[in-house]
Copies of this chain bind each other. A is one copy, B any other.
Amino acid sequence: MTDHVYKQVELTGSSPASIEDAIQQAVSRASKTVRNMRWLEVTGIRAHIEEANVSHYQVSMKIGFTLDD
């Protein structure tokens, strides 16, 4: 893995269930167009509130993937 070049993209995933599910939603959506994803780093956690309850989490993240040669 030592001589690769990586690219990072910044996405935000949403989920009413949990922070972890919001992360997975973004990864799943990204997999439609990006190959070779390796890791992600959370850059922000937000949530929307409706009638005094968290209605869904919004987790922003940078996803790194290997650029094919």
Residues of chain A touching chain B, judged by Cβ–Cβ distance below 8 Å, are: 2-16, 18-20, 23-31, 37-42, 44-49, 52-57, 60, 62-64, 67
* Min C-beta distance of A17 to chain B, whole Å: 9
Whether A54 lies near B27 (C-beta < 8 A) is yes
* Min C-beta distance of A69 to chain B, whole Å: 8
Whether A18 lies near B16 (C-beta < 8 A) is no
Whether A49 lies near B57 (C-beta < 8 A) is no
Distance of A24 Cα from B35 Cα, bound (Å): 23
Q: Given A47-B23, A52-B31, A63-B49 in contact, is the A9-B7 Cβ separation under 8 Å?
A: yes
Q: Given A5-B12, A18-B20, A20-B18 in contact, is the A42-B45 Cβ separation under 8 Å?
A: yes
